Amino acid sequence: MNLIECENLSKAFGRMKAVDRLNLEVPAGAIYGLLGPNGAGKSTAIQMMLNILPPDSGQASILGCDSRRLGPAQFAGIGYVSENQLMPDWMTVGYLMNYVKPFYPTWDDRRADKLLHDFDLPLDRKLKHLSRGMWMKAALASSLAYRPRLLVLDEPFSGLDPVVREDLIEGILESADETTILCSSHDLAEIETMASHIGYMERGILRFSEEMTSLAARFREVEVTVTTAAVTPTNGRWPANWIRPELSPSLVRFVDTSFDAERTDSDVRNVFDGVVNVAVSPMPLKSIFLAIARASSKGSR
């Protein structure tokens, strides 16, 4: 079952297409990381999913309900935390928790108390006097206390120090066994430590969406040692799944985006004459995304 489904979801602001025919699925139980650079369209996509912004075309559903028809019954099972979170800053932390509690039938007082304790949130301090990190902790605590079926996080780690980020991640992961999570971010390191699924947006387009294990398995950095006279492909063309080629005398490096040990080795020996050695290395998520981004920007795919 998918808790989020988007079909050809699009949004433009004037001549700028912020989101272009987005097709995305977030399965129940997933921690889905929606990644991409600033301005990629992640926040616009999330706001359309939650009916904060109307789409120009396409549709989205949340918890099996058309996003355009979301009501109290659905919102009671959805948590939402954004880097630009708006909260009544005249309230104290304690007042905020007591204020939002009646809106959520599944509110858990013990869970709320534990979150306040773990995040070291001062009950008597007004929100406007909190640091940015404590502000985000308060927002997350008020969204997790009712044990939502779906938690949507829009750039929650932006501008936070490492200690606060770690606290937030721990709080999120403690809820992962009962809550499906969609987290948008341009911060690859944090997402890599917790995501089960990954999607990458760029210029409004979802470039790919898949499980982390599948993504990690299909990307490899390949280094081929060849004879000096055979450093260029024999047919003058690169396979479509080889990106970011680097050539030097007797050495070729590239990223294989559809790695298979036997096929890749066979393709290398078919493309190049005089192959001496083929070395293959796994890639961390950051390297994968840098390779994709640079290949896309330079049209070298």
Instruction: State residue 3's pLDDT score.
Output: 96
Instruction: State residue 273's pLDDT score.
Output: 81
Which residue ranges in the chain fall short of pLDDT 70? 228-236, 297-301
Instruction: State residue 301's pLDDT score.
Output: 40
41-80 pLDDT per residue, tens: 999 999 999 999 999 999 999 999 999 999 999 999 999 9
- Total tally of structural domains belonging to the chain: 2
Domain span at 284? 219-298
Same domain membership, residue 294 and residue 236: yes
E strands in the chain: 2-13, 16-27, 31-35, 57-62, 65-66, 78-82, 150-154, 180-185, 197-202, 205-211, 220-226, 242-248, 251-256, 275-282
d(CA 135, CA 155): 14
- Residue 92 and residue 127 in contact, taking contact as beta carbons nearer than 8 Å: yes
Instruction: State residue 239's pLDDT score.
Output: 86
Domain boundary among 166, 181, 215: 215
Domain boundary among 181, 215, 249: 215
Domain boundary among 159, 185, 215: 215
For the CA atoms of 125, 129, 134, 137, what is the dihedral angle to 10 degrees?
A: 70
